[in-house]
C-alpha cells in the first residue's frame, strides 16, 4: 500500500529520491506514507514533540525514543542515510506547509484559558529578562546587547558601553538581574562569557563566565564593578556550557551557576569554578559561612558542585530553598534542590549518555551524591526556572515554571516540600523557550528564540 501512495504523495520531492526510499522502507509503517501519522505522530503538522531542529531529528532517528516505542536505527542506517531522511522530511513538510495555516498554539490549561500577545520581536537570541517596574524591563541578547522594552515597545538602540562578550558557541551575554534594593542603589548585574586576549597567534582566546554590576544612566552602562572573575588559569577555550543564572535569596546573598565548560571531570574538582553553584555577597566578597571557606584546595565562592550546565536557578518564595535545573547530555536533564556543600554527582552519576550513544558511567546513584528531584529522559533541553507569584494566575502561586529549548515548551510543576506533585505543559510550539518568568503585573513573560521575541501570557477575558 505504501508503494502505491508514494507514486503521488512524493512527487514534489524527487530531488531526494534516496531519502524518500529510505523513509518508505524504515519510517512509513509508523508515520504514514504521507508523513501524516499512523501508529506514530504526524511529521507534517509542525508539531515536533522531541525537537524541531535537524540535529534533534537526526539524534532521535539514530538513538530512538525508547519510552514511546521508537526504535534506534544506529545499527541499521548510516549517518549519511539518516541525514537524507531528515532532508526528505524537511522538504516534504515545507511543501505541505505552503497551503496550511500557522500551527495553532493551545492556550487551554487545567486551570485557565490563557491569552498570548507579542510584546517585542526582532530580537537576536534573547537570553534573559528582568523588570525595572510595570512599564520597563531589560532583555539580554546573547551576541552582547542589553535592550530596554518600555510601554510594550523595544527601544531602537541597545544600552551603550556594556561589557565586551565572547559571542561564540553558547557564549555571550547571558543573565541580567536587578539588585534586591535596586530602587535605592540602581545596581544591575550581568553574567557573560569573558575572554582573555592572547598576544597574536591563531589560537582561541580562553574564556570563563564573569559577573559584573553597573548602572544605566542616559542609556549608557556606567560604574561597572567586577564582582566575580575566576582565576585566569582556569579559563578554557571550549565554547559551551557557561551556565549562567543569577538569583538572590531573602538575605540578599547572590547565587550564580557556571557550567562545566566541556570539562566534565572538573565539576568534581573544588579548585575549579566550572560545574558549580557559587554564593557571594552583592559586592563580590565571600560569606564566611560558605561551605569551603578556609580550605586550600577549594574556591571559597563554591556553594555546591557536581553540576553539568545549570541554566536555571530560583528561590522558593516561602521556604527560600534554592532550586536548580541543568542540562544533561543525551537524557538526564535534572531538577535539584541545592544545599550547601552537597555534591550533585556529575559526571560520576547521571541518567544520560554521550551524544554518540556510548555510556558516560554505569551508575546512577552513589553514596555522598545527591539524587535529582526529577530527571527527563529524553532530554527536553531544560533552560530557565522561576517560581510563579502574582494575581493573574492565583492557582499557580509558588508553582515552578520550567522552560525547554528542545521541546519548545513551558512546563508547570506543583511542588510540595522537595517533591513534584503535578506536571503540566502550559505552552508549546512557539519556538525554543529560554525562560518564562512572572512580571510585576502577574502576567507570565516568555523569552523565545527562533524567532527572537518576548511573549506575554495573561488570563483570557470572558466574552
- What integer is the mean pLDDT of 132-145? 96
- Residue 67: pLDDT above 90? no
Place 106 in a pLDDT band, splitting at 50, 70 and 90.
confident
Q: Which of 325, 310, 319 is nearest to 401 (CA)?
A: 325
Q: Is 418 among the residues known to form the active site?
A: no
Q: Which of 401, 361, 397, 402 is nearest to 380 (CA)?
A: 402
Q: How far apart are CA 451 and CA 113, in angstroms?
A: 24
Whether the pLDDT of residue 356 is over 90: the answer is: no
What average pLDDT is seen over the chain?
Answer: 91
- Sign of the C-alpha dihedral computed for residues 207, 213, 216 and 221 taken in this order: negative
Mean pLDDT of 196-225: 91
Q: What are phi and psi of 142, to 5 degrees?
A: -55, -35
Residue-level pLDDT at 97 = 65
What is 213-251 written as a DSSP string? EEEEETTEEEEEEEEEE--GGG-BS--S-----EEE-TT
Quick: pLDDT tens for 367-388: 999 999 999 998 999 999 999 9
75: which residues sit within 8 A by CB, 6+ positions away? none
Alpha-carbon distance of 358 to 338, in angstroms, equals 29
Taking a C-beta distance cutoff of 8 angstroms, is the pair 208, 275 a contact? no
The whole-number pLDDT of residue 289 equals 98
pLDDT of residue 99: 58
Element (H, E) at 386: strand 382-387
pLDDT of the residue at 198? 76
**69 confidence band (pLDDT: 50, 70, 90):** confident
Residue 57 CA to residue 49 CA, distance in Å, equals 10
Average pLDDT over residues 46-70: 79
pLDDT in tens, 305-352: 999 999 999 999 999 999 999 999 999 999 999 999 999 999 999 999
User: Is the CB of residue 401 less than 8 Å from the CB of residue 348?
Assistant: no
- pLDDT tens per residue, range 142-192: 999 999 999 988 999 999 999 999 999 999 999 999 999 999 999 999 999
Highest mean pLDDT among 5-14, 15-24, 47-56, 101-110: 15-24
Q: How far is CA 195 from the centre of its chain?
A: 22
If pLDDT is split at 50, 70 and 90, which confidence band does 193 have?
Answer: very high
- Return d(Cα 32, Cα 2) in angstroms, integer: 8
The yes-or-no verdict on residue 2 having pLDDT over 50 is no
- Indicate the CATH number for domain 114-459: 2.120.10.30
Residue among 194, 241, 327, 413 flagged as catalytic: 241
- The confidence score (pLDDT) of residue 207 equals 97
Q: What is the DSSP letter of 22?
A: H
**Domain residues of the chain, as ranges?**
2-97, 114-459
CA 431/CA 406 separation, integer angstroms: 9
- Beta strands 153-154 and 173-178 are unpaired
Q: Looking at residues 258-283, what average pLDDT do you find?
A: 98
- The predicted pLDDT at position 12 comes to 42
The arithmetic mean of pLDDT across residues 14-35, rounded, is: 81
Query: What is the pLDDT confidence band of residue 8, given thresholds at 50, 70 and 90?
Result: very low
Residue range 2-97, CATH number: 1.10.760.10
Residue 287 vs residues 55, 254, 292, 294: alpha-carbon distances, Å = 43, 10, 10, 11
Is it true that the peptide bond before 378 is cis, omega within 30 degrees of 0? yes
Cα torsion through 269, 270, 274, 279, rounded to 10:
160
CA distance 430 to 409: 8
Q: Which three cell numbers stand for residue 167?
A: 559571542
What pLDDT was estimated at residue 7?
38
Residues 6 or more apart from 93 whose CB is under 8 A from it?
35, 43, 44, 46
| Residues 53-61, mean pLDDT to the nearest whole number | 85
pLDDT above 80: residue 211? yes
Amino acid at each position: 500500500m505504501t508503494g502505491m501512495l508514494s507514486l503521488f504523495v512524493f512527487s514534489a520531492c524527487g530531488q531526494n529520491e534516496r531519502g524518500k526510499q529510505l523513509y518508505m522502507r524504515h519510517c512509513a509503517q509508523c508515520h504514514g506514507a504521507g508523513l501524516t501519522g499512523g501508529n506514530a505522530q504526524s511529521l507534517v503538522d509542525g508539531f515536533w514533540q522531541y525537537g524541531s531542529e535537524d540535529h534533534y531529528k537526526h539524534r532521535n532517528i539514530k538513538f530512538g525514543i525508547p519510552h514511546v516505542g521508537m526504535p534506534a536505527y544506529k545499527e541499521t542506517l548510516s549517518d549519511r542515510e539518516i541525514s537524507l531522511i531528515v532532508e526528505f522530511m524537511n522538504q516534504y513538510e515545507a511543501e505541505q506547509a505552503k497551503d496550511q495555516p500557522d500551527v495553532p498554539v493551545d492556550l487551554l490549561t487545567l486551570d485557565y484559558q490563557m491569552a498570548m500577545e507579542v510584546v517585542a520581536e526582532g530580537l537576536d537570541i534573547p537570553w534573559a529578562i528582568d523588570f525595572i517596574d510595570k512599564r520597563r524591563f531589560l532583555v539580554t541578547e546573547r551576541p552582547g546587547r542589553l535592550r530596554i522594552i518600555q510601554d510594550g515597545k523595544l527601544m531602537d538602540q541597545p544600552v551603550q558601553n556594556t561589557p565586551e562578550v565572547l559571542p561564540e558557541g553558547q557564549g555571550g551575554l547571558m543573565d541580567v538581574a536587578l539588585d534586591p534594593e535596586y530602587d535605592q542603589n540602581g545596581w544591575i548585574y550581568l553574567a557573560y562569557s569573558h575572554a582573555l586576549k592572547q598576544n597574536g597567534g591563531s589560537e582561541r582566546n580562553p574564556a570563563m563566565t564573569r559577573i559584573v554590576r553597573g548602572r544605566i544612566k542616559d542609556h549608557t552602562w556606567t560604574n561597572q564593578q567586577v564582582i566575580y572573575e575566576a582565576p585566569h588559569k582556569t579559563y578554557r577555550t571550549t565554547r559551551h556550557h557557561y551556565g549562567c543564572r543569577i538569583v538572590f535569596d531573602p538575605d540578599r546573598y547572590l547565587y550564580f551557576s557556571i557550567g562545566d565548560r566541556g570539562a566534565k571531570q572538573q565539576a568534581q574538582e573544588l579548585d575549579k569554578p566550572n560545574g558549580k553553584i557559587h554564593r557571594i555577597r552583592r559586592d563580590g566578597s565571600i560569606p564566611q559561612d560558605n561551605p569551603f571557606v578556609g580550605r586550600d584546595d577549594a574556591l571559597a565562592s563554591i556553594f555546591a558542585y557536581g553540576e553539568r550546565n545549570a541554566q536555571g536557578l530560583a528561590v522558593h518564595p516561602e521556604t527560600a530553598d534554592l532550586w536548580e535545573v541543568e542540562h544533561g547530555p543525551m537524557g538526564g536533564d535534572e531538577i535539584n534542590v541545592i544545599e550547601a556543600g552537597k555534591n550533585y554527582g556529575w559526571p560520576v552519576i547521571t541518567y544520560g549518555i554521550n551524544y554518540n550513544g556510548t555510556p558516560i558511567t554505569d551508575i546512577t546513584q552513589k553514596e555522598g551524591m545527591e539524587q535529582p528531584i526529577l530527571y527527563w529522559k529524553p532530554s527536553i533541553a531544560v533552560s530557565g526556572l522561576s517560581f510563579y507569584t502574582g494575581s493573574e494566575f492565583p492557582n499557580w502561586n509558588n508553582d515552578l515554571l520550567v522552560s525547554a529549548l528542545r521541546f519548545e515548551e513551558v512546563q508547570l510543576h506543583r511542588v510540595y516540600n522537595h517533591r513534584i506533585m503535578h506536571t503540566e505543559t502550559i505552552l508549546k510550539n512557539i519556538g525554543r523557550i529560554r525562560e518564562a518568568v512572572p512580571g510585576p503585573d502577574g502576567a507570565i513573560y516568555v523569552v523565545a528564540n527562533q524567532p527572537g521575541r518576548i511573549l506575554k501570557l495573561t488570563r483570557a477575558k470572558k466574552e
